[in-house]
Structure 1
């Protein structure tokens, strides 16, 4: 990431922060939040009271803090909002995924011998878009070269002979926006979580049928564990990357039966991906339609004796997308507000039409349950970006708890006297929200203190400069 160019105004704002008489405490708090770009500022008090005698043993108030408030990290997962907090979420996701492949974090190392596969399920085509295809040798192919291509009904020639660069803004844009199936795109996003659920059910049914087992017998002999993440393609539809693993009935601590091998897992994935579909609601003038996964289904075995796809590479790849949203499509990083005018928002034309389609369909009663209006900024997708089955590995909550315990050991806070029973001491806290976010000067100094990247300026200031 390139370093931001500092203006004379930036220098003056930074100097104002550095000249604060309480700068030492201010800097310590900035480091304590990990360089959070949009911390939440709280005001309040904490009192430690002995429940037996009523004695006040210790008290804390934010009145003595700089600006009279205590900053708390925002803990967002989105790198576009806070790179510092998103990096923690990415690292946690990496550890979660890797533990399910190699063991650790409470998962036995024998799990590395279980059959597992890295699976990618894509969306179908909703119309030709500008794309960048790279051959194995590294040569970039032409986008959509079509000799003697005829104009479409809207007068556009659906052909492109360019070799797009990776940062070409045309990538993902339809060759003819009027021909593109915007309704299908946003409906697929909205129903992708249901399509994934049906995929997992079909996967288990295929495995059970292949072994000649009933569903009850299957559950007693084999368990299917997975962890997945959603990724937006440049055209504005999501696809899923997943690690799918076969375990014994008790999860990663037990070996699966011998017939449950990598070859059977790949066959089950391909069968389930082709077998499932979901039907959209019907409305006046809008018939119901069936949506399914795209033809491109990638299944690569893990835990093989050879291969370039390592457990670390898979964990890193999935964790990378756990902190992203729809930024690559050029949409908003927030919900639409009632006062927003789509034509005035700083978004790409393609994203604008996708969001407009969400609003159009969301206003129809038959589509109300899909909540397209509320999730227009996500182009219809309302599922969790990162999910896992219960017994895949550890949890994000357990990783956070371990990190909190470690920090408390390194930086102990107030401790009760030795002659007091800790079980009889009650902590009474009263907290109020004060504000959120940093001024430009605070953000610059925080980035300098922590070495974190400086996020782009927000569209509106949340705190006075």
Structure 2
């Protein structure tokens, strides 16, 4: 599918395709499956069967086959988290992330409600500056200030003025672009993205050390007294570097079901965050012509307590984190897919700044000393290869548990099944599955019908889809 594909147009061919699908005898089952998938824009097409056997006798208890499905194909939701690829599945991922984060603040989903009394803070860790970029600066009250109004700023070594008096609109394409692309530290930006997950890991270690020191405990003793729990999400700034938003919570030794010690207050957490953010660094690998350097968080560390009332509530924090869980680097002018060997970097539909960062990823990725960073593989992400949303083990429930609960609910609500039997814990059944991947996507007519049946926006059109929507 093209990176910036337009919504499908109701062409005569699309109308004929839609009419052909409606007039098929299996349309009712096709429509039911479409509703069950929630309007997935890129359904995956599978062919195969599932057999349930008695492990002792070999008796066949149940068999499911896709031969009874429309076109002999089972369509399942793509389950992507990227809103740019499938808004429907991304919305499900966003909702799950919201529930996961909020459960760790107010309880629910297996977390006791007493967790609401544990000290918790919303923390934002930013990247350092790699050069002056165009920015939208809002004053209190909503007025927009000039971008970089510097009197007597002069010019950079490349002859460009290092001042900008424009009051940028929110959709100005220059936002995030360097005032001087040749002065901008593209190497540092790419390496920071690549090493940001390691910087976060060191930050959490520094947090524990600082909290232990404040309590007069060793790290081993701290583990017997207190647990540090968190959930975080990565967000791309307009300039193409990631920063992290995190909920950090102090629990007792067994997690959210035990209260933290009396000395573990929000003030202790705030001090540990500030100290930890300033203390940690990550050295970059050295290579010929590329000396090693130390990367650290930017000077702006935002930390605010989370409350049940006021401006920064549990609902607001959960919604904010969940919103960014479905976004990636495509929001800053790059691609939502990997760079292929056949791609011409000069003609990719990306911004000029993103093009320079992608080129730098490919250049650095060719250096043997930086091979472990896999920069070429993650050039479309501008070097970042970490997970966009992560959490500590004891923060709250898991996305897997939420998905499993939804699957069980859907099995009770819908007739469509892939052959699962209602089993008890005592039952022993051997399940043998045979699946073959056929493709992915929707035809023009199917895209129109999906939007009409589910009430979702018209999904992007996959021009390579077959009659069943396959891209095989």
TM over 0.5: yes
- In structure 2, the partner of 1:95 is 99
**Distance change (3 Å), C-alpha of 1:158 and 1:19:** farther
**Distance change (3 Å), C-alpha of 1:421 and 1:166:** closer
- In structure 2, the partner of 1:376 is 379
Q: What pairs up with 1:437-448 in 2 under 5 angstroms?
A: 437-448=441-452
Instruction: Compute the displacement of 1:373 (Å).
Output: 0.5
- In structure 1, the partner of 2:160 is 156
Please list the CA deviations of residues 321-379 of structure 1 after superposition, one character each: whole Å capped at 9, or x if unmatched: 11111112111111111111111211111111100000000001111111101100100
- In structure 2, the partner of 1:349 is 352
Normalization by structure 2: what TM-score? Answer: 0.92
**Distance change (3 Å), C-alpha of 1:152 and 1:457:** farther
In structure 1, runs of 5+ residues without a counterpart are none
Q: What pairs up with 1:205-284 in 2 under 5 angstroms?
A: 205-284=209-288
- In structure 2, the partner of 1:394 is 397
Could you tell me how far apart the structure 2 residues matched to 1:286 and 1:425 are? Answer: 59
Instruction: Compute the displacement of 1:37 (Å).
Output: 0.8
State the Cα RMSD in Å.
2.2
Could you tell me how far apart the structure 2 residues matched to 1:153 and 1:38 are? Answer: 49
Q: Aligned to 2:49, what secondary structure does the other structure show?
A: strand
Could you tell me how far apart the structure 2 residues matched to 1:103 and 1:366 are? Answer: 46
Instruction: Compute the displacement of 1:199 (Å).
Output: 0.5
Is residue 113–residue 303 contact of structure 1 (8 Å, CA) maintained in 2?
no
Find 1:331's aligned residue among 330, 334, 345.
334
**Distance change (3 Å), C-alpha of 1:4 and 1:438:** closer
Is residue 80–residue 455 contact of structure 1 (8 Å, CA) maintained in 2?
no
Instruction: Compute the displacement of 1:437 (Å).
Output: 1.1
- In structure 1, the partner of 2:464 is 461
Normalization by structure 1: what TM-score? Answer: 0.94
**Distance change (3 Å), C-alpha of 1:440 and 1:62:** same
Q: What pairs up with 1:2-401 in 2 under 5 angstroms?
A: 6-9=9-12, 10-51=14-55, 54-303=58-307, 307-401=310-404
Could you tell me how far apart the structure 2 residues matched to 1:67 and 1:373 are? Answer: 40
Could you tell me how far apart the structure 1 residues matched to 2:207 and 2:420 are? Answer: 53
Instruction: Compute the displacement of 1:53 (Å).
Output: 5.2
Could you tell me how far apart the structure 2 residues matched to 1:59 and 1:254 are? Answer: 47
**Distance change (3 Å), C-alpha of 1:417 and 1:33:** closer
Find 2:437's aligned residue among 415, 433, 437.
433
Q: Aligned to 1:409, what secondary structure does the other structure show?
A: helix
Instruction: Compute the displacement of 1:33 (Å).
Output: 1.5
How many residue pairs get aligned? The number is: 460
**Distance change (3 Å), C-alpha of 1:258 and 1:236:** same
Is residue 443–residue 461 contact of structure 2 (8 Å, CA) maintained in 1?
no
In structure 2, runs of 5+ residues without a counterpart are 1-5
Could you tell me how far apart the structure 1 residues matched to 2:207 and 2:189 are? Answer: 25
Is residue 36–residue 414 contact of structure 2 (8 Å, CA) maintained in 1?
no
Please list the CA deviations of residues 151-193 of structure 1 after superposition, one character each: whole Å capped at 9, or x if unmatched: 2111111211111111111111111111110000000000000
Is residue 53–residue 430 contact of structure 2 (8 Å, CA) maintained in 1?
yes
Is residue 133–residue 175 contact of structure 2 (8 Å, CA) maintained in 1?
yes
Could you tell me how far apart the structure 2 residues matched to 1:462 and 1:285 are? Answer: 47
Q: Aligned to 1:372, what secondary structure does the other structure show?
A: coil
Instruction: Compute the displacement of 1:52 (Å).
Output: 5.3
